[in-house]
Each structure stands twice: as structure tokens, then as C-alpha cells.
Chains A and B, each alone.
Chain A
């Protein structure tokens, strides 16, 4: 008797369990018994809204609705290798409701449309109505085969796809991601979108496995806009791909980004509300890599050498790769790994090994590169040439410097140390994030660097230089060189460092190891030729040199020290 009772209880419970993951309890049950807002007024059949056992059209899977027969605007991108055609297969079936053109109750097996509550006929506007513009939706109805995976380089070979992720006759369709009959996860997804588990069934982005955008457990502090407006997830790692991308109704069509303005896809988190550093504040400073100035000029498919002047976050950062990982100069830091660049020889590199290779994209051979701020005896705007390690002198960005004896260097720096471009060019402020995002100082310098003539010497005036070069050694005097050269000019004559020194370096295509050691390349608005038209520095060996020039109204003729 007890056994019988148990059987009875099991039988009573079973249907409930069986229905728990059934279409019956989903919003795809459009019958009067459906749980959603959009449902029929009296129709009790559930399958009928999509299927009919006889006289179906198009044929399988026994479809009960008309093909919309429309021409859709398709997804297009400079970085897709797929041939995306008009929707077909299962996708056109989904679109027979989800493009919003055919009444939900318009089924083949009924003479008249099935009536819907609230007077609804076609799919109401909103996220589920994709419209006939599919440019902002993940592409469908394209052949996804091994060749596509190989051509793309960042897609899983589809022979390795595992159920329930399925292609239809080699094509990706709506049903690859969605199972219209089961809403086990949200949005009828076949695999959970948490941690982008679904996306990564197909997408295998280079470097992604160690990316902070995949692994960070950072959460939103509740200020400003919710950066995760289209998911139920509450941390960076849970949102993963969807931190930036939106598979449907994306704000920016190409690459399906959340927001139409490129930088907004980054700054919704990097504004102090999710990420620990506030980049937005830096970009709002008077001197910045002004990402706000450019719109839709950057292209993910662009060459490493930037041909049309612009700057966006992803020119220097690869959001699929960026991670919190320190490095020492010149090696690229975690925030910039996985980006493309130009190496010291002027060749493309992917990915960059050294940070300066990123800077070379715009500041070296680019035809649209920014001009040099100081007019010099030797003009050179190509920083790749300025930092070449074959130069007579250069700041040690691409290799240790040429000067074997530099007593002003503050420990632990030595003559064999190397530095980053971003040691000088970075956001000002002690706690500011690394990198040249924005500064209150011109040329996005980390510290003040006064270049005007007749500047009374102070720590503040040359704060940038004094970070590495000990002020006491530079202007303290004590020996012939220090008294007669640095102290005499910087303190005695109120001349700026920049008057005699070209901080990047002097290209060996223009300068030489007699006249251009020690970064000597005069500012010709301060240092002038003599009456005889002569203007040069001559290296005479260790702490010894000779100048012929006219400065502050006085001539030096072969004046030596």
C-alpha cells in the first residue's frame, strides 16, 4: 500500500517536473495558458503558432507561418570573413515573428488570425523585435566551416562544436544559440551566457584566456549608468564578452558594440564605477589623447601604420587581451598586450613586444603625425628615427643610452637602464593610472616641463627632468663641468633644459657623434648662429665640449669646457 502511494505521488509529481523546462512555461507558449504578456485571448493550442502537422510552409520543421519574403539589411564588418546571406533555414522561421512584420496570430492552419490580448498583432517594439535591419544583430545564415575558422583565426573549428550548439547544414542560424522550445537559461539560450560560455563555444579570441575582461571580479558601484544593462550579471567576469558587445540591437553595428560612440564602450566601466582607475577623468584633462575628437575613423582592420589621424582606446589597447600585469621597460605592460604596432625597423608587428612600438603607429612614419613642438637645428618628427639605437644620442627607450657616464641619474637608474615613452608622457598626478591618457601639462607630460626661455630655475620648472636627473647634481656645482655648463646656464642664465637638449634623440640620418651627443640639438628660437652663421656643439670627450653659437645676446666662439 505504501509502495502504491509512492507510485501515485511520483506519477503526480512527474508531469510538473517534465514541464519545468518545457515550452509550456515559457513566453513562447503564446496560447491563452502562456505565462507571458503577449498571448492569445482564447486559443489553447501551443504548437500551432509555429507548427502544423499537415500542409506546412516552408517545409521543415512543419512550419505554420508565412516566409516574410523580405530583403533584410545584413550585418557587415571589416573584420568578418564570412559570406553573410539573406536569412534562410531556421532563421527565417524565427523572423516570421521576430522581424515584426507578420501578425503573431497569422498561421497557415487557421482561416483567420488568432486574436491576441491587448490588441497585439505583430511583435511589439522592443528587444525581441529585431526589425528588418539585422545590421545590429549577430549575423546568421552564413556557412561556418573549417575554412572560415582558419581564415578568421579566432573562431573554433566547427567540427569541434559540441551539442547543444549546432549548425544547420553547415550554417549558423538563430537556433545555433537559441532553442525556442526551452528556456533553461535566459533568452532561450542553448548554453548559459554567464561568463560568456555560449559565445566562447565559437569565438576563441587571442589572449582572451588571461584577459581582465574575462577574469576580473570587479562589480559596479551603483553610480551612473549600469554598464551591464542587457544582462542579469553583476561582475566583469560574469559579463565577459557582454561587457562591450551586445548580440542583438547593438548600439554600434560593426562588431556589435554596446554603444554607438566607441569610447563609451570602455568608459562605462573605466570611469571609476567599475574599474579601479578612472580613465575618463584623465581624458577630460586639457592635454589628452582625445578620443572624443574622432568618431568611426578607427577600424579594427586598419593597418598598424595609422594613415588617417585618429585615436581611440583600442588603438593602444586590445580589450580581448588587456590584463593587470606589470613589466619593465621596454616590454609592453599588461594593459597594452596584444596590440599591433611598428617596430624599430619600421615593420608591422602583431602583437607588440615593446611598448614604444604602439607609439610608433602614429608618431613615427604616419603621414599624419603630430608636429614637433620645438623648432630645432635638426628637425625630426619621426620618433622611431629619434629613438634609433644607432643614433649619436637618445633617451634609452629602445635600448640603453650611449653616454657611459651620467652622474645625475637617481638610483636605481644607471647608464644601462631603459625607460618607457610613458615614463615621461603620462597622466599627471601621483595616483593617476599609467599611460598617456591626459594631463594638465602640454604634450601629455607626467610632470611640468617648462620650455620657455628666461625661466628662473626651480624644481617645479623642470620637475619632469628631475624625476631621473638629480637636481642637486645638475645645478649643485662642485666641479668644472657642473659649474660652467649646467649651473651656469640653467640657474645663471635662466635657460631651459629644452634650449640645448632634444629630449627624444637625434637621428643618425641627420646628426653625428661629434655634434649631437648628449641630446644636443638646439632650440633655434633661443640659440642662434653667430654672425658668421655658425651654430654647433662639438664633443671633446668626457665632460668636455665646445660651442659656437649666439645666445642671450652673447657669442660663444669655440668656447670650450
Chain B
């Protein structure tokens, strides 16, 4: 039996390592080192800086933040309390709301390249999955169609709460890992059989 458990543990670790060693940011759509608007030729610098990062925007944020007020998602079946984007979602929206030039980083404010296409969510977030709301056992119970994040396995090693939420809130990074595109669309896990959706949604 112990051997069997060791074998399973081994397989599990192997799996995690595989995912961890996936594509990485290099050569992904988030690798802007070759873009004309990025004169530095660096990868990380568009978002991060080791020093003099923007106040209050961890992790070491280097890209001009958006000051927009967003139209939020509403639905008559929505039980969550919605608020303006916060936490790491603000960081994503500093490029993905389409109002701040992608080349406005490292103190630059006169950039003129903007995100285009489907990646531009705009400031109307009513047609996007809601973010920046507290997702806890109470919400799951109120909704009736959500798993309890504190007790439900995320499929990433721990609970949903531990692996996918940030201060108990669902954020862009709950579903997306901006540094790793192994699963496509920078998803944190494969959405084969809608596995990512069904991690939280008890449908």
C-alpha cells in the first residue's frame, strides 16, 4: 500500500513539474521583447521593475495603471457583491482595458500603442466573467451553483481558496497565469471538458 501511495505521489509530482516547466512567458504572447514599442528588448520590464515600483502595486509593478471606472457584470442570478476591479486585476487591466498605452511603462506616459482585438476587454466589463468579488463558503451556499472554495479541491494541489483566490477574492489571476501559456489563453489549467469552469461552478 505504501508503495502504491509513493507511486501516486511520484506521478502527481511529475505532473506538477510538467505543468510548472511548461512554455513559460518566453515566446508567449506576453513576451514583448521583440515588439517595436519595447525599446528595452526585455521581457519582464513591461510589467515589473526590481526597484522604484509603482506605490501600492505589488508585485513590483512597472506599468502605468488605468484610472477608469468600469461597468460591472450584473445578472439576476448573481449573488456575489460586486465592486470595482482591485488587487491583481487592476494590473491586468492596466493593459487590457485598452485605455493605457502598452508602452507606458517604466515611467513613460506618452506611449501610443494600445492593445487590440479580443484581448481588449474595454472598460465595459459587463460581458466578462466577474472579478474582484469575495468568493467564500457563504457565497457558494447562497448561490447553490458554486462549490465551497474552502473545502473544494482546485485540481492544482490544494483548495480553490488556497490556489486560486487572492485575499478570498476571485481575480483575473484565478483563471489566468500571465507567465505561462502552456494551456492556451494563459489559463491556469487545461479547460478540456470545461475543467477550469467546473472547478468552481457546480453545474
Q: Interface on A for B, CB 8 Å cutoff?
A: 1, 5, 18, 22-24, 31, 33, 44-48, 51, 53-57, 59-62, 168-169, 181-182
Contacts and interface: CB of A to CB of B under 8 A. Distances in A.
A44 B192 contact: yes
Contacts of A62: 73, 127-129
A45 B192 contact: yes
B128 A53 contact: yes
B3 interface: no
A33 B192 CA distance: 11
A33 B193 contact: yes
Interface stretch (B48-56, B75-83, B105-113, B133-141): B75-83
B193 A53 contact: no
Given A61-B75, A181-B145, A45 B193 contact: yes
B126 A53 contact: no
B128 A60 contact: no
A55 B191 CA distance: 18
Given A53-B128, A60-B74, A61-B77, A22 B202 contact: yes
A168 B75 CA distance: 10
13 contacts: A1-B1, A44-B192, A45-B192, A47-B201, A53-B128, A53-B129, A53-B197, A59-B127, A60-B78, A62-B73, A62-B129, A168-B76, A169-B76
B8 to A, nearest CB: 9
B128 A45 contact: no
A141 to B, nearest CB: 14
Q: Is the interface of B mostly helix, strand, loop or mixed?
A: loop
Interface string B159-203: 000000000000000010000000000000001111001100111
B121 A44 contact: no
Nearest to B190: A44
A22 B197 CA distance: 13
Contacts of A31: 193-194
A48 B1 contact: no
Nearest to A48: B194
A22 B194 CA distance: 12
A59 B125 CA distance: 10
A182 B201 CA distance: 12
A45 B183 CA distance: 13
B193 A59 contact: no
Contacts of A1: 1
B203 A182 contact: yes
B203 A22 contact: yes
B203 A181 contact: yes
B192 to A, nearest CB: 5
B121 A54 contact: yes
A24 B202 CA distance: 10
A54 B127 contact: yes
Q: 8 smallest A-B Cβ distances: which pairs? A: A60-B75, A181-B203, A46-B194, A53-B129, A56-B127, A47-B194, A47-B197, A23-B203
Given A1-B1, A18-B202, A22-B202, A54 B128 contact: yes
Contacts of B74: 59-60
A467 B106 CA distance: 110
Contacts of A182: 203
A408 B139 CA distance: 82
Given A45-B191, A45-B193, A46-B197, 20 more contacts: A18-B202, A22-B198, A22-B203, A33-B193, A45-B192, A45-B194, A46-B193, A46-B194, A46-B198, A53-B129, A55-B118, A56-B127, A57-B127, A59-B126, A60-B73, A60-B75, A60-B78, A61-B77, A62-B129, A169-B76
A56 B202 contact: no
A151 B175 CA distance: 49
B105 to A, nearest CB: 24
Nearest to B78: A60
A216 B203 CA distance: 37
B118 to A, nearest CB: 6
Contacts of A55: 118, 121, 127-128
Nearest to A28: B203
A228 to B, nearest CB: 31
A61 B126 CA distance: 10
A164 to B, nearest CB: 8
Contacts of A44: 192-194
